Structure 1
Amino acid sequence: MIVLSGAVIDHCQNKNNLAKRETQRSILKVGFILSLVYWFLAATRDSLLHSDITFAESIATPPVIYFWMRILGIFMIMLLSLFAHSSIINLEKEKAEIEKEKNHVFQIINQMVFPIQLISPDGVILQVNNSFKKNFPSIAEMCKDRIVHISEIQFYKDNNIVDAVIKAKRNRTVFIPRIVFENSLPGTAPERRIYETTVFPITNNQKCWVIIAIWTDITDKIDTENQKEEMRSQLLKAQKMEAIGNLAGGIAHDFNNLITAIQGTAELAIMDINEKKSDIVSLKSDLKDVINASKRAADLTNQLLLFSRRRIMGFNTIQINDTIISLMKIIKRLLAENISIKSKLNPSLWTINGDEGTLEQVIMNLVVNAKDAMPEGGEIVISTENIALTQETAVLIPEARPGKFICLTVSDTGTGIPENIMENIFEPFFTTKEAKNGTGLGLSVAYGIIQQHKGWINVYSEKGLGTIFKIYIPASGKEVSYKKDEKIDLIETKGYGEKILVVEDDENVRLTAVRALRRSGYIVTSAMSAEDALNFFINNKSNFDLVLSDVVLPGKSGIELAHNLKKRFPEMEIILGSGYTDAEKIRTEVTNKGFAFIQKPYEIFSLLKTIRQMLKEKQEKTTV
């Protein structure tokens, strides 16, 4: 049964009160017994000393002196009785005061909003407040008519309350951060609440008198945190979608620039042919420009892979002057007539160790930004110089360090960058332009690329006067090994009637490959899927010398197709190609399985040369 009046003080004070009462009773008893013993001893002594006095007379009618001594003993007994009576009365008053304090304390406990539970050091539930009864009705109901030990309650065992009480008995405070309670009283709807609990002792002279357990309902707090987390997740998704939108706009902008250059150059070549103004040299030059622009479009996709951390940079010794010169022709096609561009390149510029494709994209982004900052026209200047920084001169340039560097500068005479946004320009997707105008891949990506080249970017701008971007990249000191222009040797690419199966789901890529192979003398069959390809072998019993297949196909993959064909035709040559973001991973997987791999976009000459070499090696094996 739960003790509803004075559990704590009953436990802490009752033993002392009982001890006092027992002591008082003992004093009365001892005093009374001593008085009787004294009276009888005195009577015995008197009868022995005075032969004329019998023992009975000594007890009944003692001499006067002895009489008063005995009276004194009786008086002492009366005093002791009065003292004991007074002490008992004081104890009753004290008990009444304690009772009053008890009621006051438990009124306070009952009014507390936190569920509170009082437990004896032995683990018996002594008292619970109204809040506890409301929050834990099933436990309160269990303790209503009988004494309950905490070890009898399975909920306490499952949630380490029993262990916490044992530790509290040893004068330790225990905090349990999360306890889930499900009310399952008959006739009531199940309710699930979450609590955190603190169990601590009340001690006197380092001895535990009572243990208090305070429960805090954190269900609403956790629900609020879950809602905040869900809102945070939704906000993050929204930000990602916004970032993707910005990125998509920038990609479209850059691709549109490249497509404009490709389309414009091709149209000029057609116009010259139609007007019969074109000779072989100029036509070849125009077509080379188309190819170069296409390569830069491929570099842009590589930049996207780099942005998503799915492509590793390919560092080589390069001369940045050569990169700028090759870019100038396509850059000029992007600029309006009222914008001029010129270069000031140091002919003795040091070489650097870099990834040419990503550096081209950095330059293109800076030029496009400069163009957009000059709606009324102006001038863009691209310059290069050698910079040798000492410890003293490095401190004058932000982010600089001692060493040899090349400095690439892109300056414009545009509107300039407002001072209040200067510190934000390298943040991902930060832009002051309208969404329709695009921002490339952003200055944040350019900054990241230069950092990966172990360099840095400084910006100097003044409103109305223009902006200067200075890019510093460490010099390598190595010589550039220039590749000679490959002359297409028809013998290296010519086919001799070999049968080739092209498996590609993209129509444009498939038709281009088929056209190039047929033009080179191969007998070509095409299929759109792995299933279609297998049908050529099963239904037509066709046999091919080589299969060129995309890795990613509808239905079965190109790798699955290759495995299937190798089981049937072990001598068949197979080339697998891919342009997906995981191309490096796919390349490793393909080559580990013993198949050849070609990265998209591929050059036709490289494809034809690879096929010719594989068929030649196959022929040499069969003739040995």
Structure 2
Amino acid sequence: GITISSKDNTRQFVLHVISTPSRVRGLFVGLLPAKENVIADYSNTLLSIILMNTANALENTQLYKIILNQKLALEKKVDKKTKELVMAERKLLHAQKMEAIGTLAGGIAHDLNNILSGLVSYPDLLLMDLPEDSPLRDPVLTIQKSGEKASIMVQDLLTMTRRGVAVKKVIDLNEIISEYVKSPEYNKLKSYHPEVEVKTRLDSNLLKISGSPVHLSKIVMNLVSNAAEALPEGGRINITTQNRYIDLPVGSYDDVEEDDYVVLTVADNGTGISPQDLERIFEPFYTKKVMGRSGTGLGMAIIWGTVKDHKGYIDVESTEGKGTVFSLYFPVTRQEIEKDTNNLFINDYMGNGESILVVDDVEEQRYVAQGLLRKLGYSVTTVASGEEATEYMKKKSSDLLVLDMIMEPGIDGLETYKRILKLHPGQKAIITSGFSETSRVREAQKLGVGAYVKKPYMLEKIGMAIKKELQKK
């Protein structure tokens, strides 16, 4: 420190820098007693020590504040990351659970589709041979309708496991909703819930999406059914559609990425969903609805699987006692709606003696396909494996192949087609399977395979697929 005199030289001031080795913290100014002109060396040394400790204390205090702020910021980041990790873990567990159930259900569905082929396909053959006034026509139609209903249930299993959306086309979601509110299923729901009011507010300029009308209709039906079940004393359900551009990630249940979307919202002012139930609502067979009236507990799982198959997202907001809002986001397509080709007659897809080779590892499937195609005027040969098909084609030829995609043991439909292409470049073929379209089906189509036909066989579907492929040049 140093001493300086006052202007009148009557008093002495002591000046001392307050600092640490890293920076200056301030300046100490002291006034000596009137009778003292200098400060003793030991006093100056003691002052230096005191001021250095003061500087260190000030610096430590500031460092403490910095560390405390960093700690709080780090805790927030850790808390945020922990929540994200927990959410990611839940999504992973859900995905793993769905995958496990999907493997089981997919195998069961594949076998059931093979079994159902007889119930769905043979009635077509019987009806073609029965006179119009035959008393057997109604029982045969009943058998066929029962088989078709069972086939729809199998389709629900495949949809739940994200293996069911096989056919997509450009559609207007407003039309799907409008058709549902005129349907027998809707009227039946209204009879169960007469005090529930359903209102629609549909965007008249709604953009188009690419999807399966059957599956999207089931989504609407399941969402409205869930909402009605949440209104035991009556209430209101609002169905709305709108165009929306997402430029920032949104959604609490599912992360919605940036894009143009058509948003379907189904909201009710009912009982709401508890936080515990909200975490499990998309699990298969998890339901609190009335069994037998509203299904088997697959409704929400089907919604989840269908939305994901349509490359979409789901967001759910719910407050107990106030209601629930489901928002479904579907990517927009800029393609135009194709004109529907209904009112087909059997002559539209009859054959003219062309040779067909049916390749399927299931004997019943071969018999069904053979019977249907012979009725349509084709010359049909059947083999039980891809290897047999390859050997057959080494010696003979066929106008078209009907290839089952999954054949065990042995090579599948794709590998069979690859081998036959080496023997007969440009060979025409269609693919069939009890599953929905897979990457291997798409690979086969890139090589030249035509339509994909989903089992069980329907006379018109397989007939039109073959006719279309044979007409290609």
The alignment's TM-score, normalised by the length of structure 2, stands at 0.51
CA distance in 2, matches of 1:424, 1:306: 23
Task: Provide Cα deviations, 1:487-515, integer angstroms capped at 9, x if missing partner.
Answer: 32555422112221211234554444323
Q: Which residue of 2 aligns with 1:304?
A: 161
Does structure 1 retain, via aligned residues, the 8 Å contact 2:358–2:370? Answer: yes
CA distance in 1, matches of 2:462, 2:106: 31
Task: State whether structure 2 residue 276 is matched by structure 1 residue 417.
Answer: no
Task: State whether structure 2 residue 353 is matched by structure 1 residue 500.
Answer: no
SS in 2 for 1:576: strand
| Match runs of 1:543-558 below 5 Å | 543-557=397-411, 558=413
Q: Which residue of 1 aligns with 2:49?
A: none
Does structure 2 retain, via aligned residues, the 8 Å contact 1:573–1:614? Answer: yes
Does structure 2 retain, via aligned residues, the 8 Å contact 1:379–1:413? Answer: yes
- Across the aligned residues of Structure 1 and Structure 2, the Cα RMSD in angstroms comes to 6.0
Task: State whether structure 2 residue 210 is matched by structure 1 residue 351.
Answer: no
Task: State whether structure 2 residue 220 is matched by structure 1 residue 366.
Answer: no
Q: Which residue of 1 aligns with 2:373?
A: 517
Deviation at 1:323, TM superposition (A): 1.2
Deviation at 1:481, TM superposition (A): 2.7
Deviation at 1:518, TM superposition (A): 1.6
Q: Which residue of 1 aligns with 2:432?
A: 577
Q: Which residue of 2 aligns with 1:160?
A: none
Larger relative CO (CA 8 A, sep 6+): 1 or 2?
2
Query: How many residues get paired?
Result: 346
Does structure 2 retain, via aligned residues, the 8 Å contact 1:503–1:549? Answer: yes
Task: Provide Cα deviations, 1:103-135, integer angstroms capped at 9, x if missing partner.
Answer: xxxxxxxxxxxxxxxxxxxxxxxxxxxxxxxxx
Matched letter for residue 608 of structure 1:
G
Residues 419 and 507 of structure 1: is their aligned pair in 2 closer, same or farther, counting only changes over 3 Å? same
Task: Provide Cα deviations, 1:534-553, integer angstroms capped at 9, x if missing partner.
Answer: 67678xx7653322121221
Q: Highest CA radius of gyration, 1 or 2?
A: 1
Does structure 2 retain, via aligned residues, the 8 Å contact 1:313–1:355? Answer: no
CA distance in 1, matches of 2:107, 2:230: 19
| Match runs of 1:64-143 below 5 Å | none
Residues 339 and 608 of structure 1: is their aligned pair in 2 closer, same or farther, counting only changes over 3 Å? same
Q: Which residue of 2 aligns with 1:339?
A: 193
Deviation at 1:606, TM superposition (A): 4.5
CA distance in 2, matches of 1:589, 1:338: 48
SS in 2 for 1:611: helix
SS in 2 for 1:548: strand
Q: Which residue of 2 aligns with 1:527?
A: 383
Q: Which residue of 2 aligns with 1:561?
A: 416
SS in 1 for 2:327: strand
Matched letter for residue 220 of structure 2:
I
User: Which of 178, 181, 188 is residue 325 of structure 1 equivalent to?
Assistant: 178
Task: Provide Cα deviations, 1:17-57, integer angstroms capped at 9, x if missing partner.
Answer: xxxxxxxxxxxxxxxxxxxxxxxxxxxxxxxxxxxxxxxxx
| Match runs of 1:421-460 below 5 Å | 421=276, 424=279, 431=286, 433=288, 437-442=296-301, 445=304, 449=308, 453=312, 456-460=315-319
Residues 419 and 455 of structure 1: is their aligned pair in 2 closer, same or farther, counting only changes over 3 Å? closer
Residues 551 and 382 of structure 1: is their aligned pair in 2 closer, same or farther, counting only changes over 3 Å? same
Deviation at 1:457, TM superposition (A): 3.9
SS in 2 for 1:544: coil
More helix by share: 1
Task: State whether structure 2 residue 447 is matched by structure 1 residue 590.
Answer: no
Deviation at 1:613, TM superposition (A): 4.0
Deviation at 1:522, TM superposition (A): 0.9
Deviation at 1:294, TM superposition (A): 5.9
CA distance in 2, matches of 1:450, 1:462: 32
Matched letter for residue 521 of structure 1:
G
Deviation at 1:593, TM superposition (A): 3.9
CA distance in 2, matches of 1:460, 1:302: 29
The alignment's TM-score, normalised by the length of structure 1, stands at 0.41
Deviation at 1:410, TM superposition (A): 3.5
CA distance in 1, matches of 2:157, 2:98: 21
Which runs of no fewer than 5 residues in structure 1 stay unpaired? Answer: 1-235, 619-624
Task: Provide Cα deviations, 1:163-201, integer angstroms capped at 9, x if missing partner.
Answer: xxxxxxxxxxxxxxxxxxxxxxxxxxxxxxxxxxxxxxx
CA distance in 1, matches of 2:399, 2:256: 59
Matched letter for residue 561 of structure 1:
T
CA distance in 1, matches of 2:314, 2:154: 25
CA distance in 2, matches of 1:535, 1:446: 40
| Match runs of 1:169-180 below 5 Å | none
CA distance in 1, matches of 2:317, 2:175: 23
Residues 382 and 479 of structure 1: is their aligned pair in 2 closer, same or farther, counting only changes over 3 Å? farther
Residues 244 and 373 of structure 1: is their aligned pair in 2 closer, same or farther, counting only changes over 3 Å? farther
Does structure 2 retain, via aligned residues, the 8 Å contact 1:351–1:475? Answer: no
CA distance in 2, matches of 1:241, 1:572: 41
Matched letter for residue 408 of structure 2:
P
CA distance in 2, matches of 1:327, 1:489: 27
Deviation at 1:469, TM superposition (A): 2.5
> Which has the higher mean CA deviation after the structures are superposed, 597-606 or 549-558?
597-606
SS in 1 for 2:239: strand
Matched letter for residue 429 of structure 2:
I
CA distance in 2, matches of 1:346, 1:363: 14
CA distance in 1, matches of 2:272, 2:398: 62
Deviation at 1:417, TM superposition (A): 3.3
Residues 432 and 470 of structure 1: is their aligned pair in 2 closer, same or farther, counting only changes over 3 Å? closer
CA distance in 2, matches of 1:459, 1:332: 24
SS in 1 for 2:161: helix
SS in 2 for 1:305: coil
CA distance in 1, matches of 2:104, 2:269: 29
Residues 570 and 588 of structure 1: is their aligned pair in 2 closer, same or farther, counting only changes over 3 Å? same
Percent identity, aligned pairs only, is 22
